[in-house]
Amino acid sequence: MQKIELYIEGQRLEMFSDESVTITDTIQNVKDIDKIFTEFSKSFSIPASKSNNKIFKHYYNNNIQNGFDARARVSANIELNSLPFKDGYIKLEGVGMKNNLPDTYRVVFYGNTVSLKDILGEEKLQSLDLSANDRTYDANDIRSFLQADSTANDVVVPLITHTQKLFYGGGASGSQGDLGYTTGVKTGVKWSDLKFAVRVDTIVQAITAKHSELVFSDDFFTSTNATYYGLFMWLHRKKGSVENLTGVNQAFVDGWLGTIGAPDATLTKMDTAYILQVTGIPSNYRTFELKLYTASGNPYTVSVQKDGVEISRESNVTGDATVNQFTAEQGNYIVYIESPLDITFSQIEWNVTYRDENLVLQSSTYQTGVYNFVSLFTFNISQQIPEMKTIDFLKGLFKMFNLTAYVDKFTGKIVVKTLDSYYSAGTSHDVTKYIDVNKSSVDIALPYREINFQYEGVKTFLASKFSQLSGKDWAKSSYDGGEKLDGSIYNVKLPFEHLLYERLSNGGASTTAQYGFFVEKYEDNTENVGDPYIDKPLLFYPITQTGGTAISFLLSDTVQQNLTTYNIPSNSVALSSGTSKANINFHNETNEYSKSNYFTDTLFEVYYSKYISDVFNSSNRITKLTAYLPLGIIIKLELNDSLIISGKSYKINSIKTNLKTGQSQLELLNEI
């Protein structure tokens, strides 16, 4: 028998001497291949002792104010025989009562990686601080970033139009979408039909900057990984034109100078130069208001957003204003000002009062001092980024590249690797003599007859047309091992848009211009415009063409320029398979630019094929065994390790260990 010691936030909990704690470990399960797993335990009980009651702040007594919050997990760790075993979190499920007195606390232990969802919660990408990359939305900036080097800039403009169809007609057509040039005929791509895009890595870095407890390793998330680092997200928040195209600017209020009062006591703080973070109990807030002071007579609008969602809007305000028609709920608050004119505010301030655990009223005031609002049209990335939860964005990247994650027990970093590289770094343990030979089973490994890999967003005009002609979704890959098998169909879907791009021709000759047409429907019409569309966020590779075929760019209805340097969108890392075969299709489709099928390093081929082909192999089995592993192996066993049993090597599909007895239920995949 082993001695189990459980600590919660550094405090040791008392345990029942005969209570078992069973930990289930799995990181990639053949039955659910697109999910990331970690350690978790079955619910177990600990005594409602004097010491435990103190740690859980007598949770059974609902009259206690500001007691233990069982809605969230708290940091914990397990030791076996005083040796470190697992770090993670404890969730209090409830209290067992006897004779109206507390008897037991029911708790569950979770490993570190599962806390990603707890940390990120329901927050959306627009709550991230991406302001360092904000740009002025005008013709000059759009032209500048259309020509910016995509390898050296975190923000670019790709040749993706939200409404206008592009083509080459020598300029003689007189249509705005004609990229050809004819003197006196103002044709081309208009600057306002284009939008900015931001590097995906910039978004990932903003997530870690906001959440200091999230520190990702550079095994995959690194600038040397071109397949990842070259990806950009198109900043397409609404279909059609960019919001505020009328020229009315919306800018967030930053530069808050400091605090008057006691911010710790009100459980609020300025998390950044412009985000007010509120963490207290909503019902304890007595005052929660925003005040603005200005002698200007210019009208303005005040918008308050919580976690990227507008909760208050006061329009056509002049002079001083007080905004307080919202509840102080937990979250991150940002103040936005809108106006077509410049306005100077002598002061903008948050006023907060809060009744603390001792029922004493505490107050905090956050002030900006003089704040100058400038009425340029700023392309605010946090407001223009697609509507998407942060956790869904990260899960999408993990699915895209078949990534797996775990917390390094020594550094505390979240190690992110491809599944293949994770398994290749494992070691092996011969556990033959610890296996219970009296009972085992060998089951079929594969519960599916087919696995589909695809994008959720494939309804733009050309992608839909491809589906109609080919009978399958654009870039979708299906795998069945080449056999007709029994079982269900499993779908791995990425929560992103996937465009089919078009390389343009001029008089039958290919140009260096390729573009994306982000519309849902298009029928020939004199304006050459389609129906604006929005669905999922678009990821792509911008590739800078230098010295390419000239395209006509419209700075205005009357000013036209020819550009030979511009960024084209691509699904492949490079335009030549001789440079790189990597791409973000699941299936090896004909490359839009080269018209070849040599871009063979698809998402499926590079990141999924080895694992999936092994799973579909007819000789693969799930072997279920019982083992009594010694503490030395339990302590150091990792999920990418191989177990050697009677000379055969197995991968761990899942392992369930009773920490008290050392008994482990093993689900193993024989290595092919």
Lookup: tokens for 645: 């049993």
Bridge partners of 319, per DSSP, are none
Predicted confidence band of residue 40 (pLDDT cuts 50, 70, 90): low
Please determine, for residue 645, whether its predicted confidence score (pLDDT) is greater than 70.
yes
Residue 216's identity, in one-letter code, is: F
Please determine, for residue 248, whether its predicted confidence score (pLDDT) is greater than 90.
no
Please determine, for residue 153, whether its predicted confidence score (pLDDT) is greater than 60.
yes
Q: How far is CA 268 from the centre of its chain?
A: 26
% the chain with pLDDT above 70: 93
Round the average pLDDT of the chain to a whole number and report it: 88
Q: Which of the residue ranges 222-231, 440-449, 576-585 would you say has the lowest mean pLDDT?
A: 440-449
Q: Which of 142-156, 555-569, 641-655 has the highest mean pLDDT?
A: 142-156
Predicted confidence band of residue 119 (pLDDT cuts 50, 70, 90): confident
Host H or E run for residue 316 = strand 309-317
Identify whether the C-beta of residue 15 lies closer than 8 Å to the C-beta of residue 92.
no
Integer Cα distance of 489 and 478 in angstroms: 10
For 567, other C-beta atoms within 10 Å of its C-beta total: 26
- For residue 161, the model assigns a pLDDT of 97
Integer Cα distance of 372 and 361 in angstroms: 33
- Report the 3 state secondary structure along 350-393: EEEEEECCCCCEEEEEEECCCEEECCCCEECHHHHCCCCEHHHH
Identify whether the C-beta of residue 448 lies closer than 8 Å to the C-beta of residue 251.
no
- For residue 31, the model assigns a pLDDT of 45
The arithmetic mean of pLDDT across residues 574-599, rounded, is: 97
Residue 413's identity, in one-letter code, is: K
Nearest Cα neighbor of 284 from 349, 357, 333 is 357
For 50, other C-beta atoms within 10 Å of its C-beta total: 8
Q: Which of the residue ranges 34-48, 256-270, 539-553 would you say has the lowest mean pLDDT?
A: 34-48
CB proximity list for 409: less than 8 A, separation 6 or greater:
84, 87
Count of helix runs (H) and strand runs (E) in the chain? 13, 45
Please determine, for residue 424, whether its predicted confidence score (pLDDT) is greater than 70.
yes
Nearest Cα neighbor of 657 from 635, 646, 670, 640 is 635
Integer Cα distance of 337 and 253 in angstroms: 7
CB proximity list for 208: less than 8 A, separation 6 or greater:
214, 215, 216
Torsion over CA of 251, 255, 259 and 264, rounded to 10 degrees? 70
- For residue 576, the model assigns a pLDDT of 97
Nearest Cα neighbor of 498 from 545, 548, 464, 549 is 464
Lookup: tokens for 68: 């233990």
Nearest Cα neighbor of 333 from 294, 281, 379, 279 is 279
Which residue has 């030395």 as its token pair? 632
For the chain, report the end-to-end CA distance as a whole number of angstroms: 36
Q: How far is CA 232 from the centre of its chain?
A: 13
Please determine, for residue 510, whether its predicted confidence score (pLDDT) is greater than 90.
yes
CB proximity list for 27: less than 8 A, separation 6 or greater:
36, 37, 38, 404, 406, 422, 639, 640
- For residue 578, the model assigns a pLDDT of 96
Integer Cα distance of 420 and 133 in angstroms: 35
- Core vs surface per residue 531-566: b (16+ CB within 10 A) or e: ebbbbbbbbbbbbbbeebbbbbbbbeeeebeebeeb
The arithmetic mean of pLDDT across residues 550-558, rounded, is: 89
Please determine, for residue 26, whether its predicted confidence score (pLDDT) is greater than 80.
no
Q: Which of the residue ranges 108-112, 549-553, 626-630 would you say has the lowest mean pLDDT?
A: 108-112
Of the two residues 470 and 1, the one the predictor is more confident about is 470
For 337, other C-beta atoms within 10 Å of its C-beta total: 21
pLDDT in tens, 313-369: 999 999 999 999 888 999 999 999 988 788 999 999 999 999 988 888 999 999 999
CB proximity list for 387: less than 8 A, separation 6 or greater:
124, 125, 126, 237
> Longest C-alpha distance within the chain, in Å?
94
Bridge partners of 167, per DSSP, are 178
Predicted confidence band of residue 33 (pLDDT cuts 50, 70, 90): very low
Please determine, for residue 12, whether its predicted confidence score (pLDDT) is greater than 50.
yes
Instruction: Indicate the DSSP class of residue 191.
Output: G
The arithmetic mean of pLDDT across residues 192-203, rounded, is: 97
For 637, other C-beta atoms within 10 Å of its C-beta total: 19
**SS3 state of residue 173:** coil
Q: Which of 60-69, 239-248, 528-537 has the highest mean pLDDT?
A: 528-537
Task: Calculate Rg over the CA atoms of the chain.
Answer: 29
pLDDT in tens, 603-635: 999 999 988 887 777 677 788 999 998 988 888
Bridge partners of 45, per DSSP, are 106
Which residue has 């939008």 as its token pair? 195
- For residue 152, the model assigns a pLDDT of 96
The arithmetic mean of pLDDT across residues 10-38, rounded, is: 71
Nearest Cα neighbor of 128 from 389, 398, 379 is 389
Nearest Cα neighbor of 92 from 119, 117, 63, 55 is 55
Predicted confidence band of residue 172 (pLDDT cuts 50, 70, 90): low
- For residue 246, the model assigns a pLDDT of 45
**SS3 state of residue 604:** helix
Q: What is the DSSP string of 83-141?
A: EEEEEEEEEEEEEEEETTEEEEEEEEEEESTTHHHHHHTT-BGGGS--GGG-EE-SHHH
pLDDT in tens, 262-291: 667 899 998 778 889 999 999 999 999 999
Which residue has 């085992």 as its token pair? 440
CB proximity list for 209: less than 8 A, separation 6 or greater:
129
Burial label for 424, CB within 10 Å (0-12, 13-18, 19+), is: exposed
- Core vs surface per residue 362-378: b (16+ CB within 10 A) or e: bbbbbbbeebebebebb
Burial label for 138, CB within 10 Å (0-12, 13-18, 19+), is: middle
